[in-house]
A and B are shown apart, each in its own frame.
Chain A
Amino acid sequence: MLLPFAITADPLDLAGVLALAQQQHATQALEHDLEGPGAVVLFVGAVRGRHQGQHVRALTYQAYEPLAVASFARIATEAARRLPGVIVCLHHRIGTLEVGETSIVIVTVAAHRAEAYAASRFAIERVKQISPVWKREHLVDGASWVEGASIDPDDPAPLEDAWRRACP
């Protein structure tokens, strides 16, 4: 059974995550007598063949699985705090992925498109800030771990930065 938040070594089930998110929004709308799912945004992150001018052969993803899944739930809660009613489902793949393969899928559902689009951008920005997931780049002349943001989930500055990018 598909869960709303997951780390998996298997290929990501885009259609399954999409259906789950849509159904969650519909159920929530029924329960609270609100507008149902009128806008569904699917974000798919894929392995790029070049990074900063270098030819990328593959990426290997690693995660601290229980905390990564908890971080996805936290991101969904943060999104719904600013955008009431929005549903976020988030799956990230781990292991070695070839160029073009899907590494992350984010589905956001809202009554209207503005909230669904904003939540989608917010969620991917926030994953890059606080989710314990790492990528190792396999280049032609060797491999190395990519190090981006230092995790500080309680720091309001990156949170606000993610919202600024989501709602310009």
Chain B
Amino acid sequence: MPVTVRLFARLREIAGSDELTRGLVGGATVADIWDGLTADWPGLAPYAGSLSCAVNAQYARMTTAVQDGDEVAFLPPVSGG
């Protein structure tokens, strides 16, 4: 099963999609998924330094391992309230 990728705010605009599916190789991390996205959409790359992420709707780190069927969300800097 592939991984579901969720994008928000400006990231969603850059990629032109709120949800993507990506194939997975063994031992992949959130960072590997991100690297694949920035290869397809170089406009995402500037977010590397300010980005946060979540796996299955829990706060995660770029080093967090990703399993088949996971939902990986990339979160640009927030502005709620």
Chain A residues at the B interface, C-beta cutoff of 8 Å: 45, 61-64, 66-68, 70, 92, 103-104, 124, 127-136, 145-154
Contacts and interface: CB of A to CB of B under 8 A. Distances in A.
B59 A145 contact: no
Most chain A CB within a 10 A radius of its CB, from B6, B9, B52, B73: B9
14 contacts: A67-B57, A67-B58, A70-B58, A128-B78, A128-B80, A129-B78, A130-B78, A131-B78, A136-B9, A145-B76, A147-B9, A147-B77, A148-B77, A152-B52
Most chain B CB within a 10 A radius of its CB, from A92, A149, A151: A151
Contacts, number: 86
A154 B58 CA distance: 12
B15 to A, nearest CB: 14
Given A64-B6, A64-B8, A145 B79 contact: yes
* Contact-size category for B: 20 to 34
Contacts of A67: 54, 57-59, 73
Given A62-B9, A64-B8, A152-B52, A147 B59 contact: no
Given A134-B79, A145-B79, A148-B77, 7 more contacts: A63-B80, A64-B8, A134-B9, A147-B77, A147-B78, A148-B79, A149-B78
A45 B81 CA distance: 6
Contacts of A147: 9-10, 50, 76-79
Interface in B1-58: 6, 8-10, 13, 50-52, 54, 57-58
Contact of A62 (B8, B50, B51, B57): B8
Nearest to B52: A151
A68 B8 CA distance: 13
A150 B79 CA distance: 10
A114 B38 CA distance: 48
